[in-house]
Amino acid sequence: MPISKDFTSILSKDWEINFLQCYPNGYLKYTDLCNILQLTAGVHAELGGISFSDMQEHHQAWVLSRMRVEIKRLPKWKEVVTVKTWINSLENSRSVRCLELYIGDEKIVGCETFWAVFNTSTRRPESLALPHEHFKKYPDDKATELQFSKIDTTFAKTFLAEKKILLSDLDIVNHANSVKYLEWCLDAIDAGTIQNREIISFEMNYLKEVALGETISIGKSKTENPMVFTVSSSDKTCFALQIDCK
């Protein structure tokens, strides 16, 4: 698609929190928080002519590599939130995108994401084939207190569960959707930690894609704060999650 007449290098978009997105306590699910952030990034990419549809002309797609989310508080059912997003850097096959979530003038969530350009035919990274010079980059503007990092996965793990990847786990890129990994791990956490909104930040590393029919295992560190989870397939770590609580 051509660049939209409504395109700007910094996008702000409103979302109303609906009941399907909430835990029983009425607060937004952490998984749906990530969905809202990624959907906003998708809207910005579409307006700027580098969306999934645009990239598929070159057999390319954006895939998430790392994500850090810092939470002051979660929004509640019926609240209207504003997500602000901009590109921190974009070079060759890599891009860092920042996002902030507001209620009114109050920033309640900050997020930093690291994306890679992925060839959906070869399943390998490659340089972006589309022009992006019209996106102003903001290398000095950060959305989080800390930047995303490489999570240590060498710890001794406690086995939690085994799962076979189903069709409902897949997304349009034909691999397990990034938010599904978070969902699998959060399902293993004590419900009170979720319901009492004790999580103040979480960070995710995506290391290897998993596909339909694969069997994955979920492991957890013995430390409780931070908690570290891994998702593995054939003894290879595919995903790591670190959660920090109050």
Bond from prior residue into 226 cis (ω within 30 degrees of 0): yes
Judge if 130 and 199 occupy the same domain.
Answer: no
Residue 155 vs residue 96, higher pLDDT = 96
* Residue 128 sits in the same domain as residue 218: no
Across the chain, mean pLDDT equals: 96
- Structural domain span for residue 8: 1-148
Q: Give the 3-state secondary structure of the chain.
A: CCCCCCCCCCEEEEEECCHHHECCCCEECHHHHHHHHHHHHHHHHHHCCCCHHHHHCCCEEEEEEEEEEEECCCCECCCEEEEEEEEEEEECCEEEEEEEEEECCEEEEEEEEEEEEEECCCCEECCCCCCCCCCCCCCCCCCCCCCCCCCCCCCCCEEEEEEECCHHHECCCCCECHHHHHHHHHCCCCHHHHHCCCEEEEEEEECCCCCCCCEEEEEECCCCCCEEEEEEECCEEEEEEEEEEC
Residue 112 token pair: 């930093």
Tokens of 59: 């057999």
58: pLDDT strictly greater than 80 = yes
Same domain flag for 39 and 144: yes
187 lies in the same domain as 223: yes
Of 148, 179, 210, the residue at which a domain comes to its end is 148
pTM for the full model? Answer: 0.96
- In the listed set 129, 148, 167, which residue is the last one of a domain according to the structure? 148
Burial of 238 by CB count in 10 Å (0-12 exposed, 13-18 middle, 19+ buried)?
A: buried
Do 75 and 27 form a contact (C-beta atoms < 8 A)?
yes
Based on the domain organization, do 174 and 239 belong to the same domain? yes
- Domain identity same for 113 and 229: no
pLDDT at position 238 is 97
State the CATH number of the domain containing residue 189. Answer: 3.10.129.10
Q: Into how many domains does the chain fold?
A: 2
**pLDDT tens, 110-119?**
999 999 999 9
What is the per-residue pLDDT across 143-158, written as a single tens digit (0 to 9) for each?
999 999 999 998 888 9
Name the pLDDT band for 2 (thresholds 50, 70, 90): confident
One domain, residues 176 and 212 = yes
Residues 166 and 137 in one domain: no
Residues 28 and 70 in one domain: yes
Q: How many CA atoms lie within 13 A of 45 on its CB side?
A: 24
Q: Which of 148, 163, 180 is the last residue of a domain?
A: 148
Read off the tokens for 141: 């503007």
Both 122 and 159 in a single domain? no
Give yes or no: residues 162 and 136 share one domain.
no
Beta carbons of 139 and 121 less than 8 angstroms apart: no
Task: For residues 122 and 215, state if they share a domain.
Answer: no
Name residue 61's beta-bridge partners.
118
